[in-house]
Chains A and B, each alone.
Chain A
Amino acid sequence: MELTCLSKGDGFHYPPCHMLNLSGFRILIDCPLDLLATTIFSPVPCDVGTEASAYPTPEEDDAQNPLQKKQKLEERQMTPDDLVCAEPWYKTVKALHLWEVSLIDIVLISNPMGLLGLPFLTQNPRFCAKIYMTEATAKIGQLMMEDLVSMHMEFRRLHGPPEDSSFPWWTKNLDGKDVPALLKNVVFGENGDDLGSWMRLYSLDDIKSCMKKVQSLKFAEEVCYNGTLIIKALSSGLDIGACNWLINGPNGSLSYVSDSIFVSHHAKSFDIDGLRGTDVMIYSGFSCLQTAEMTESDCISTISENNDGSLAASLLDNEESLEELEKLAFVCSCAAESADAGGSTLITITRVGIVLQLLELLSNSLESSSLKVPIFVISSVAEELLAYANTIPEWLCEQRQEKLISGEASFGHLKFIKDKKIHLFPAIHSPNLITSWQEPCIVFAPHWSLRLGPSVQLFQRWRGDPKSLLVLEDGGISSGLGLLPFRPISMKILQCSFLSGIRLQKLPALVSLLKPKIVLVPDVVNQRINLSSVKTKAILNYSENMTLSVARVVDNADVEIMAELATKLSWKKLRQRENFGIARLKGDLVMENGKQRLVSGLDQEESSGKARSLRHWGAVAPETLLDALMKMSIIGSIEHSRGENGAEDKSIIYITNPSGGMIETSEMGTTIITDDKTVASKIFQAIDGLLDGL
């Protein structure tokens, strides 16, 4: 097995991407987009963006000498004018472009985020891999891609037709000396070779043809690839439809565990049992690196003393999930506060599970308060997505399953939509939006990058209002270029960092519970936590853009022999070794359901004839041989010779009748010396009778 980490990604929206070589098959795991990188683009092209240019740029003294000026440039604050004024391009995983697309056999998509870059791959006519993902990931991912395209088209509609050049022309002016390093870094990468990873967005047709190639999997369904690999998607708890992978093949079992959530209040929780005891586990949870967590050694050292039950309990405690609920409740209270003060709330979070829970919580809390604030959801796919969420009990947490089974909707938004408390609009210019619009209000609007979609206009509208609130997802948007074009901002900003993976300190307990024989951990993770207390055969480190080879864990591959066939083999008992039975094989070796199987072949009667033994064990006693030869009318006499100078003992039988010849026999072997073919055959027959053979 070989693992190449193509990208360690960056949090929830940019999951890691790997290339795996397993049993001779090349497997790509996830194909995400780095959407944070789109923040290098201006949300409104410069000539149109009057608001952005109205913002006064920092004073610059023309009289300064060049050296001073250069220094100043490196330190200076970036201005919105530094952003690229062009139709956005999208940044894919760079290392993926180094692989020949036709050599990929399988693509596994773990969650909707991992799907966003796939149409770039499937556009390629040489792409011929089988794509697997869960039904929910396919559905939600497709909607997200369609939404992305629709937002992009809206951008194009507002800001003019695209440039024709296929090379990202907008990078032309970006290698100048006075371009801020931060910007250059995103565009060209740390090594300056990222340029090739920028792509023009795919079209709706590209999405359609991509999704046509997908084989979607039901919850915990097993599929067999090429008769060799059995692939199963197990819920990861990260979000609805998100999964970890279990792959069983002739060379053992492998689990792929990416960012997961043990106890979720919306999605089906992390399926621990299904991943136990694999030969190899690839741990790909990078999100734990985003938060500066301390690693307490005492919480790790206790692990070895715990049994599985308490290990599981420690992972499944609801402390984490309660924290998440508190965060959600806090967002609600902040929104209510703003509304109370007459301000609106703009929520740009697009994580499906978070949106569904927030909608439910907000509606409920508004209902029970005196505030009459409408909730708007503006997205081209909101209606379909919200309807879909109530029809997939298998991907939801138990409480929400229970709701459906007792006849209630899994998520509470349905009722509020019906009662016109929640309004759904496909776009900000939707005809009915104006009539039902009222402020203050609470709006859910993509895109979280603040470069596309209704979030741009709404943010521009409210950024100067200190009573209004912007709810952002944590993850670089506020620390990077995200807010730059909207400055100065008087609006309140609430940054939420929701749980988006396994906490670092829970990793040892998880590995101890899953008990893989070998576990592969990112080196950056291993540096942060002490895994020495974990009982596995080996912990290996992998790092971005390096290939790690793992030797086979199982010594020998298993072959299954049809019991019926086994009884038909010609079995030989051994004189010397009674515990053994041996038989020459026949039949066909086939690969079936990930197992090598020996099944009845066509050559049954053909090989069932008495075949001569070609291989022998044991020793020939010359006297016994002489007797046996006598019965065949072959007459001879024995002569023993002692081994001298370390040579071995040897006996020679001189054959006198019916023709001349001799037999030399020792511990090592027996040689028949004659020019008479018939006699030789007879002698062999006699010897064969005295030895164990096959």
Chain B
Amino acid sequence: MAIDCLVLGAGQEIGKSCVVVTINNKKIMFDCGMHMGCDDHNRYPDFSILSKSGDFDKTISCVIITHFHMDHVGALPYFTEVCGYNGPVYMSYPTKALSPLMLEDYRRIMVDRRGEEELFTSAHIATCMNKVIPLDLKQTIQVDQDLQIRAYYAGHVLGAVMVYAKVGDAAIVYTGDYNMTTDRHLGAAKIDRLQLDLLISESTYATTTRGSKYPREREFLQAVHKCVAGGGKALIPSFALGRAQELCMLLDDYWERMNIKVPIYFSSGLTIQANMYYKMLISWTSQNVKEKHVAHNPFDFKNVKDFDRSLIHAPGPCVLFATPGMLCAGFSLEVFKHWAPSPLNLVALPGYSVAGTVGHKLMSGKPTTVDLYNGTKVDVRCKIHQVAFSPHTDAKGIMDLTKFLSPKNVVLVHGEKPSMMSLKDKITSELDIPCFVPANGETVSVASTAFIKANASDMFLKSCSNPNFRFSNSSAQLRVTDQRTSDGVLVIEKSKKAKIVHQDEVSEALREEDHIVSLAYCCPVKVKGETDGVGLIKLLSKKISETVSYAEIHESETCLQVGSFKGSLCLKEECVHRRGISSCSEVKFLCCNWSVADLELGWEIINAMKQNL
């Protein structure tokens, strides 16, 4: 059996995450994102690869969205409302609550920016979100008879999850975006040690290894502080949710400590609304925040106010969080246009900017002018600060997680090709795990674990409950093996469930009579003087125990028994089991019989008895 991993998006790139995994005939779509840097048909994953006819309900068992970022949820309304997928969609409670805000915000920006035809409407978002089944961390959901899914905490943003999916005995984990360290408000990713055939991991920072984030936080705070102290305006373009809250917590706290009175603004009511969500979704934040929230909810920001458009040209310093991030369109771009020409001002770019955005242009090199999307040019004289801490794991985190889970295979997505390739080499060489970096549209196939189910008999299970150690000398080394299972026999009958029985039960299972193969020999033994039968058996038993040290001998009257070996005094004149020697006063006979299981043992005993003959 195999697991097929088809990458529809985020293959060797960042943007439009969408991976479709087929496990034992179940197809699961992980994430359904859009590419922020594209504005043609490439912005969505190519769903036509999944079904030519467009009957997605039949092909896809379920869709699971890991978090509310556009590159993970952006194409969902399109997929459900325009492409017509009607099956189950799962996301965490926070993701279900916050995604519509993100989607609506983005939709508005796109319409404003190009006045372009809407790809999906507000109504689409609403009906799409209605179909979403919310899930809780670690909640084990049986999607159908065979498919089981479970979410684990991923850090990254509020409500982000990693997803475990299992069909039959085959299991995989899709990480989505994750963070292996705690940040201001979120905990670190947390997952159980699972048996996995495949791990699909993000790899945004596949080669970066970050040290402590505190110096970087300080750098950011100092850059902003310096700007406002010099009377400048600091613009922080960010999406409404996620980074905004983290940076805002950082600034709010710093403002308190330093007693700074400069206003901090949020560009849209959206972020204020978002902060309220954060308060209710407190159970998804870090332990630290959770413990303190009754006394003080850290999302009650003291220094934060709503921004008004008229304030763009107001004199005096300020800090402004403006949506969207990456300066890809909308209000943040508009503010940028006005503030960028002043050297007093600052633009702080948190997180990753997708290729094709103004944010990306600012990050790569130090441009003096920047082309905006509509052709206008802007002089850039302001300072640019790149926030150097990120809610994504670094390379060490990816390696740690991979090592911890020890999957049979790894697929890397959501990264930049060159660094992904070097991480792949590292995983292959250091962890000895096959690793793949498929491009969009490519499928990776890996073998999957399978178990044969068999009914085990009580006798077998009982025999297994006692250790059965065997010692052996192989290549001059003493080896101990526990062979408690080797009394077991696997019996497979066509079109029936397999059975495990104890070897003594095999015949019954086969509905056959045993054909017993045994050895027999009427063995002559030398008798000194007057010895009766009982005395002889005692004598022989002593002799046997001297030579065959491990034998456990049972005597009774004129018989002795060792394992399956039975010997009894033969009083017949002419026994057919005798060879050569005939009866005389000096010689008595022991009629012996033993099974082939004790073939060697039998001969050893015979030899011992014959010794004095």
Cβ–Cβ contact B452 & A220, under 8 A: no
Contacts of A394 in B (CB 8 A): 93, 134, 136, 139
- Within the complex, the shortest CB–CB distance from A277 to chain B, in Å, comes to 11
Task: Write out the residue numbers on chain B whose beta carbons fall within 8 Å of the beta carbon of A582.
Answer: 489-492, 506, 510
Asked if A672 meets B479 with Cβ closer than 8 Å, knowing A393-B93, A556-B457, A581-B492, the reply is no
* CB proximity to A under 8 Å, residues B106-146: 134, 136-142
Our pick among A217, A218, A387, A559 for the contact of B500 (Cβ within 8 Å) is: A559
| Known pairs A557-B455, A589-B484; A668 contacts B516 (CB<8 A) | yes
B93 lies within 8 A of A405 (CB):
yes
List 11 additional contacts besides A559-B456, A673-B521; criterion CB under 8 Å: A394-B134, A394-B136, A561-B451, A561-B453, A562-B449, A582-B492, A583-B490, A598-B485, A607-B483, A688-B517, A691-B517
Residue of A580, A589, A617, A620 near B513 (CB, 8 A) is A617
Instruction: Output the least CB separation between A661 and chain B (Å).
Output: 7
Q: In the bound complex, do residue A616 and residue B280 qualify as a contact, i.e. CB atoms below 8 Å apart?
A: no
A176 in the interface (beta carbon within 8 A): no
Which B residues touch A410, using CB under 8 A?
280
* B516, chain A: closest CB distance, angstroms: 3
User: Which of A54-62, A201-209, A679-687 touches B?
Assistant: A679-687
In the complex, chain B residues 441-497 whose Cβ is within 8 Å of any chain A Cβ = 449-458, 461, 464, 472, 474, 479, 481-486, 488-494
Given the complex, which residues of A lie within 8 Å of B93, measured CB to CB? 393-394, 401, 404-405
Known contacts being A391-B283, A558-B455, is A221 close to B483, with CB within 8 Å? no
Assess whether B453 is in contact with A558, with CB atoms less than 8 Å apart: yes
A596 at the interface (CB under 8 A from B): yes
Report the nearest B residue to A393, measured CB to CB: B93
Report whether B140 and A577 are in contact in the complex, using a CB–CB cutoff of 8 Å.
Answer: no
What are 7 A-B contacts defined by CB distance under 8 Å? A220-B139, A232-B140, A394-B93, A557-B456, A586-B485, A662-B576, A673-B577
B304 interface hit (Cβ, 8 Å): no
**Segment touching A, from B82-90, B197-205, B595-603:** B595-603
Contact A218 B456 (CB under 8 A): no
A619 to B512, CA, bound (A): 11
A510 at the interface (CB under 8 A from B): no
A559 cross-chain contacts in B, Cβ below 8 A: 453-456, 461, 500
Q: Is B576 a contact partner of A561 (Cβ separation < 8 A)?
A: no
Pair A561/B490 contact, Cβ less than 8 Å = yes
Do A393 and B134 touch (CB < 8 A)? yes
Cα separation A580 to B97 with both chains bound (whole Å) = 57
A426 interface residue (CB < 8 Å to B): no
Question: Is A392 on the interface with B (CB-CB < 8 A)?
Answer: yes
Chain B residue numbers with a CB within 8 Å of A217 are: 138
- Taking A218-B138, A404-B280 as contacts, is the C-beta distance between A563 and B481 under 8 angstroms? no
**B90 CB, min distance to chain A CBs, angstroms:** 13
Q: Does A610 contact B (CB under 8 A)?
A: no
Q: Which residues of chain B are within 8 angstroms of A555 by Cβ–Cβ distance?
A: 455
Shortest C-beta distance, B247 to chain A (Å), equals 22
**3 tightest CB-CB pairs across the interface, nearest first?**
A669-B516, A560-B451, A603-B481
B residues less than 8 Å from A392 (CB atoms): 283
Residue in contact with A618 in the complex, picked from B451, B456, B515, B597, CB distance below 8 Å = B515
Cβ-neighbour of A561 out of B150, B454, B494 (below 8 A)? B454
Interface string of B246-282 (1 = CB under 8 A from A): 0000000000000000000000000001001100111
Q: Is A574 an interface residue (CB 8 A)?
A: yes
Contact A672 B136 (CB under 8 A): no
- Asked if A614 is an interface residue, CB under 8 A from chain B, the answer is yes
Q: A607-B483, A616-B514 are in contact. Are A219 and B139 (CB under 8 A)?
A: yes
Question: How many Å lie between the Cα of A274 and that of B456 in the bound state?
Answer: 27
Which of the residues A563, A587, A671 comes within 8 Å of B518, measured between beta carbons? A671
Q: Counting CB contacts under 8 A, is B520 at the interface?
A: yes
Whether A671 touches B519, Cβ cut-off 8 Å, given contacts A383-B294, A394-B136, A574-B510, is yes
Question: Residue-by-residue, is A527-563 near B (CB-CB < 8 Å gives 1, otherwise 0)?
Answer: 0000000000000000000000000000111111111
Q: Does B503 contact A (CB under 8 A)?
A: yes
Q: Which residue of A lies closest to B516 (CB)?
A: A669
> In the complex, what residues of B have CB within 8 A of residue A661's CB?
579
Would A577 and B510 count as touching, CB distance under 8 A? yes
- Bound-state CA distance A525–B457 (Å) is 37
| Contact present for A615 and B506 (CB under 8 Å) | yes
Nearest Cβ distance between residue A624 and chain B, in whole angstroms?
14
**Which residues on A are within 8 Å of B, measured CB to CB?**
217-222, 232, 274, 383-384, 387, 390-394, 401, 404-407, 409-410, 555-563, 566, 569, 574, 576-577, 579-589, 596-598, 601-603, 606-607, 612, 614-620, 660-662, 667-675, 677, 680-681, 684, 687-688, 691-692, 694
In the assembled complex, the Cα of A218 lies from the Cα of B485 at a distance in Å of 38
- Report chain A residues within 8 Å CB of B483: 586, 603, 607
On whether the beta carbons of B276 and A671 are closer than 8 Å, the reply is no
Asked if B276 and A584 make an inter-chain contact with CB atoms under 8 angstroms apart, the answer reads no
Contact B481 A601 (CB under 8 A): yes
A391 to B506, CA, bound (A): 59
Whether the pair B282, A391 counts as a contact (CB closer than 8 A) is yes
Q: Which of B140, B472, B494, B603 contacts A221 (CB 8 A)?
A: B140
Which chain B positions have C-beta within 8 A of A589? 464, 484-485
Q: How far is the CB of A693 from chain B (nearest CB, A)?
A: 8
Give the residues in chain B near A585, CB-CB below 8 Å: 485-486, 488-490, 500
Q: Smallest distance from the beta carbon of A107 to chain B beta carbons, Å?
A: 20
Within 8 A of A (CB), among B503-533: 503, 506-507, 510, 512-521, 523
Contacting pair B458 A556 (CB below 8 A): yes
Given A561-B452, A618-B515, A670-B515, decide whether A407 and B97 contact each other with a Cβ distance below 8 A. Answer: yes
With CB as the reference atom, state the residue of chain B lying closest to A583: B490
Q: B593 at interface (Cβ–Cβ under 8 A)?
A: yes
Q: Which of B451, B453, B512 is the most central at the interface, judged by chain A CB atoms within 10 Å of its CB?
A: B451
Closest to B523 in A: A675
- The answer for the CA separation of A464 and B577 in the assembled complex, in Å, is 110
| Chain A CB within 8 A of B580 CB | yes
* Cα distance A562–B493 in the bound complex, in angstroms: 18
Residues of B close to A670: CB separation below 8 A: 515-518
Query: Complex: how many Å from CA A304 to CA B13?
Result: 59
Does B606 belong to the interface (CB within 8 Å)? yes
A668 and B515 contact, CB distance less than 8 A: yes
CB of B73, distance to nearest CB on chain A (Å): 15
Partner of B510, one of A587, A617, A660: A617
Q: What separation, in Å, do the CA atoms of A73 and B62 have in the docked complex?
A: 73
Complex: chain A residue closest to B461, CB-CB: A557
CB distance from A347 to the nearest CB of B (A): 23
Which of chain A's residues has its CB closest to B518's CB? A671
Q: Which residues of B contact A588 (CB under 8 A)?
A: 482, 485
Docked-complex contact B489 and A558, CB < 8 angstroms: no
**In whole angstroms, how far apart are the Cα atoms of A559 and B461 in the complex?**
10
Partner pick for A220 among B96, B140, B281, B516, CB 8 A cutoff: B140
Tell me if A218 and B517 are in contact (CB < 8 A).
no
Give the complex CA separation of A507 and B194 in angstroms: 39
Nearest chain B CB to A61 CB, angstrom units: 60
Residue from A407, A557, A587, A673 having most chain B Cβ neighbours under 10 A: A673
Q: Chain A nearest CB: distance from B310 CB in Å?
A: 27
Bound-state CA distance A586–B450 (Å) is 17
Smallest CB separation, B337 vs chain A (Å): 32
Q: Are B514 and A617 in contact (CB under 8 A)?
A: yes
- Contact check, B139 vs A405: say whether CB atoms are below 8 A apart: no
Please tell me which one of the listed residues B280, B492, B596 contacts residue A409 in the complex, with CB atoms under 8 A apart: B280
A619 touches B519 (CB 8 A): no
Q: Given B169, B493, B577, B595, which contacts A580 in the complex, CB threshold below 8 Å?
A: B493
Q: Which residues of A contact B510 (CB under 8 A)?
A: 574, 577, 580, 582, 617
Asked if B294 and A384 sit within 8 Å, CB to CB, the answer is yes
Report B-chain residues with C-beta under 8 Å of the C-beta of A387. Answer: 293-294
- B286 to chain A minimum Cβ distance, whole angstroms, is 14
A612 neighbours in B (Cβ, 8 Å): 596, 599
For the complex, what is the distance from the CA of A611 to the CA of B73, rounded to whole Å? 60
Please give, as numbers and ranges, the residues of chain A lying within 8 Å of B596 by CB-CB distance: 612, 614, 684
